[in-house]
Chains A and B, each alone.
Chain A
């Protein structure tokens, strides 16, 4: 089965601090995605990527940046973390076309 890993699994950050969430996939998938999950909202797309070097804005990109330095790695960066960014973040990968997405185990972020 496709493998997507995330680090860290849990993170406590201070308001105004910088946070980097990392994602690695060994599926050789072209597309990668970052979502946040909040009760009542389901999964909302923050950023996504078509391949190494590309990043695209999703539906809720404000306050987040993304980086795709290689096929395998996709990072989500919070330059100035705020308490409203407290959430569970999921990374996913998938092929081009209408393909199933494979999710990582998630990162629980608490911004104090």
Chain B
């Protein structure tokens, strides 16, 4: 079983709507989280990181982290067709010298114009 679980596997939202993606870790060692976005034929690109409990907002994107439940979410407001992509959650542990990141399987988002 993957240590980072993402849901849903796929999601369709209308243009201008709100998309909500979820990520849960099964390893309490994971304390640092990222959201990456990958458009077809390209490498993943970081959207945002979140390391502290609560919300972090960057433009139309808001991430929320609850360390107690090891749950992180990404909310995309006013979704655009260009937001259609594969979204990954990534986590890293707090142990010094542990440079390994673990990625979830991804959520495929489709924004319908």
Among B32, B43, B88, B103, max chain A CB count under 10 A is at B43
- Find out whether the CB atom of A42 lies under 8 angstroms from the CB atom of B103: yes
Residues 40-54 of chain A, each 1 if its beta carbon lies under 8 Å from chain B, else 0: 111111001010000
Q: Does A84 contact B (CB under 8 A)?
A: no
- Find out whether the CB atom of A48 lies under 8 angstroms from the CB atom of B105: no
- Find out whether the CB atom of B100 lies under 8 angstroms from the CB atom of A48: yes
Residues 7-35 of chain A, each 1 if its beta carbon lies under 8 Å from chain B, else 0: 00000000000000000000000010101
Q: How many residues of B are counted as interface, with CB atoms below 8 angstroms from the partner's CB atoms?
A: 22
- Find out whether the CB atom of A90 lies under 8 angstroms from the CB atom of B43: yes
- Find out whether the CB atom of A100 lies under 8 angstroms from the CB atom of B99: no
- Find out whether the CB atom of A50 lies under 8 angstroms from the CB atom of B99: yes
- Find out whether the CB atom of B51 lies under 8 angstroms from the CB atom of A98: yes
Q: Does A74 contact B (CB under 8 A)?
A: no
Interface of B is mostly: strand
State how many angstroms separate the Cβ of A52 from the closest Cβ of chain B. 15
Interface of A is mostly: strand
State how many angstroms separate the Cβ of A94 from the closest Cβ of chain B. 8
- Find out whether the CB atom of B49 lies under 8 angstroms from the CB atom of A100: yes
State how many angstroms separate the Cβ of B91 from the closest Cβ of chain A. 10
- Find out whether the CB atom of A103 lies under 8 angstroms from the CB atom of B43: yes
Residues 58-88 of chain A, each 1 if its beta carbon lies under 8 Å from chain B, else 0: 1100000000000000000000000000000
Q: State which of A4, A40, A101 has its C-beta within 8 Å of the C-beta of B101.
A: A101
- Find out whether the CB atom of A42 lies under 8 angstroms from the CB atom of B106: yes
Taking CB as reference atom, which chain B residue is nearest A106? B43
- Interface of A toward B, CB cutoff 8 Å: 4, 31, 33, 35, 40-45, 48, 50, 56, 58-59, 90, 92, 94, 96, 98, 100-106
- 6 tightest A-B contacts by CB? A103-B43, A98-B32, A43-B103, A42-B105, A100-B46, A42-B103
With A43-B88, A45-B101 given, name 15 new contacts (CB 8 A): A42-B106, A45-B100, A45-B102, A56-B99, A59-B102, A90-B44, A98-B92, A100-B49, A101-B34, A101-B101, A102-B46, A103-B45, A104-B43, A105-B43, A106-B42
